[in-house]
């Protein structure tokens, strides 16, 4: 991993938590698509949260839950792994007992995981919220990058990747690492900044950042854009719609673009974000 960046140079170990829903199946397939190019290993994880019941019945109930979950976990694993696209991928399943968020964090540390891929519900099921709470909490706290995959994603690859920048110093290191993935898929990386209004200062900052990235990053398919919109969220939505974006990448800072995405209710634009994966990279 590059010093100063929390994004792996090359993905080696991918963790895919699943609750057996359709959207978590999509996330497993997306992880396998990525692993087929990066040669990473993939661990499919299901967490059983112990039932809160009388002590005399907990043990037998838990054993029944484990047997049922283990069968569903293996069935899901075998169903996708038999696809010819994924025949050479090293994969395994893991059944754990405990709260999902805490268990995922422990496994990331103990198994040297460098990428988490999770599913999220579609926009119609979410109403006022973009992601399920577990996906959101993990994305906001994970020490490694998290890709959140919507149920409606078609796993068409990563031809066009959008990186939303606030001109942070670590953004350049993230772009360097993102190139490692982009090269595998021959992707175009769209580096976009959303500004509330056009001014001399906004154009100067954009041009300065663009030139600095060009000096630091050697990749021919970098596309730079500045969009002017009062709301960061709506500006990104418009860019996604107009440029056939396959994945949105954002760096997680205490105050960043992500706060607009996770904390505000943008019902009109939510559809765009419920159709493409979003990668959250720790800042």
Which pLDDT value is given to residue 1?
A: 39
User: Ramachandran region of residue 39, left (φ > 0), alpha (ψ -120 to 50) or beta?
Assistant: left
Domain 13-150: CATH superfamily is: HUPs (3.40.50.620)
Q: How confident is the model at residue 134 (pLDDT cuts 50, 70, 90)?
A: confident
Which pTM was predicted? Answer: 0.85
Segments of the chain assigned to CATH 3.40.50.620:
13-150, 160-282
Express as a percent the part of the chain with pLDDT over 90. Answer: 43
Distance CA(7)–CA(75), nearest Å, equals 32
| Order of strands across the sheet that contains 278-282 | 91-97, 41-48, 13-17, 115-120, 146-150, 278-282, 247-252, 160-164, 188-195, 222-228
Average pLDDT over residues 239-259: 79
Distance CA(116)–CA(148), nearest Å, equals 8
Higher pLDDT, 128 or 255: 255
Distance CA(209)–CA(268), nearest Å, equals 31
Q: Are 112 and 43 in contact (CB under 8 A)?
A: no
Q: Please state the three-class secondary structure of 164-193 as a single string.
A: ECCCCHHHHHHHHHHHHHHHHHCCEEEEEE
Tokens representing residue 127 in the block: 């109403």
Question: Which residues are paired to 97 by β-bridges?
Answer: 48
Continuous segment of H or E residues that includes residue 226: strand 222-228
The distance in angstroms from the start CA to the end CA of the chain is 14
Which of the residue ranges 44-53, 139-148, 212-221, 239-248 would you say has the lowest mean pLDDT? 44-53
Q: Are 221 and 187 in contact (CB under 8 A)?
A: yes
Domain 160-282, CATH among 3.40.50.620, 3.30.70.3290, 1.10.287.3510, 3.20.20.70? 3.40.50.620
> What is the DSSP secondary structure assignment for residue 144, as one 8-state letter?
S
């Amino acid at each position: 991993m590059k010093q100063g960046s929390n994004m792996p140079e090359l993905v080696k170990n991918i963790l895919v938590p699943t609750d057996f829903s359709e959207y978590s199946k999509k996330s497993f397939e997306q992880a396998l698509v990525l692993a087929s190019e990066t040669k990473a290993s993939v661990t499919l994880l299901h967490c059983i949260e112990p039932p809160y019941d009388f002590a005399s019945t907990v043990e037998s109930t838990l054993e029944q839950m484990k047997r049922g979950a283990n069968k569903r976990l293996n069935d899901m694993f075998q169903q996708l792994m038999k696809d010819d696209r994924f025949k050479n991928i090293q994969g395994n399943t893991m059944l754990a007992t405990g709260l999902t968020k805490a268990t995922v964090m422990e496994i990331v540390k103990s198994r040297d995981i460098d990428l988490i891929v999770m599913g999220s519900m579609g926009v119609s099921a979410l109403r006022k919220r973009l992601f399920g709470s577990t996906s959101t909490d993990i994305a906001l706290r994970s020490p490694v990058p998290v890709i959140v995959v919507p149920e409606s994603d078609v796993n068409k690859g990563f031809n066009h990747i959008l990186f939303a920048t606030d001109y942070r110093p670590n953004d350049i290191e993230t772009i360097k690492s993102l190139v490692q993935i982009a090269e595998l898929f021959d992707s175009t990386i769209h580096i976009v900044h959303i500004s509330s209004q056009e001014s001399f200062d906004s154009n100067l900052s954009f041009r300065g950042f663009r030139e600095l990235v060009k000096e630091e990053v050697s990749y021919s398919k970098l596309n730079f854009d500045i969009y002017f919109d009062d709301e960061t969220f709506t500006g990104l939505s418009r860019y996604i719609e107009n440029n056939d974006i396959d994945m949105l990448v954002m760096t997680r800072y205490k105050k960043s673009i992500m706060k607009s995405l996770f904390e505000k209710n943008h019902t009109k634009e939510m559809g765009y974000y419920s159709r493409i994966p979003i990668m959250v990279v720790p800042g």
